[in-house]
Amino acid sequence: MRKTFDLAGRTILVTGGSRGIGLETVRQLLARGNSVLVTARDIAPLDDLAEAHPGRLDAFAADLGTTGGVRALADWVATRHPGCSVVINNAAIMIHQDLASAPPAFPDDIAREIAVNLAAPAQLVTALLPLLSRQPTAAIVNVTSGLAIAPKRDAAVYCATKAGLRSFTRALRDQCEAAGRQILVSEVVMTLVDTGLSRPSTIRKYPPTRAAADLLRGLEGGKKEIWIEKTRALRVLHRISPALAYAIMRGR
């Protein structure tokens, strides 16, 4: 029987929390009475929220595309907020590229996309595992994507990083369970959400408010995998016919 996860009264870290799904997650966590730690390269959009919730939102500007930025964030959490018991790895970038005609600048773009989307979550949770292990219960939530299952043509590196984060999440979960740590390691398989991450499209996009609500509902339910909106159908379709799933997602 799956155990539920109590989100009440927690201190929760959200990366990439100044816009999109991250910002909506921060808003909903504050509305529930939690204390929220937020990191982003630009934390100015959080000023109004901080004023509206004095003492319950603390923001830290960090570039998660660098090892130094990740280390500084982990040190800040451990020193300033040792009661943090939930980490939500939401930060990501998507660079649309045709690698078949790559100019010389593309290697730097690829390295940054891998650093932000894959290396940073792995480095951050590894650094914070000792702190999380000291809490009575804790959770690590890694946001991946349906594109980790069936990639799209113009975002090859993004899709690869999300597939890598998906594998990392599974292996980390196995390690935590084998070590007897009371840490729920959960993957959120995100659908196409109406944020600035993806290109403009005629395809209907899921509202960030609903995506954030689904994420938190799944976490409270103690789910190890949280499938958001259309990814539930994609999961089934991929099991029946991977080729069809790839064909549908290829041009999106």
Residues identified as active-site:
158
- What are the helix (H) ranges across 32-142? 47-52, 67-80, 106-114, 120-133
Collect all residues with Cβ–Cβ distance below 8 Å to 197 and sequence separation of at least 6: 20, 92, 93, 94
- What are the helix (H) ranges across 81-207? 106-114, 120-133, 156-178
* Structure tokens given for 16: 């990439």
Long-range Cβ contact pairs of 56-61 (< 8 A, separation 24 or more): 56/30, 57/26, 57/30, 59/17, 59/18
Supply φ then ψ for residue 55, to 5 degrees. 80, -5
In angstroms, rounded to a whole number, what is the distance separating the alpha carbons of residues 79 and 11? 14
DSSP state of 2: P
The residue written with tokens 């799956």 in the block is 2
Beta bridge partners of 144: 189
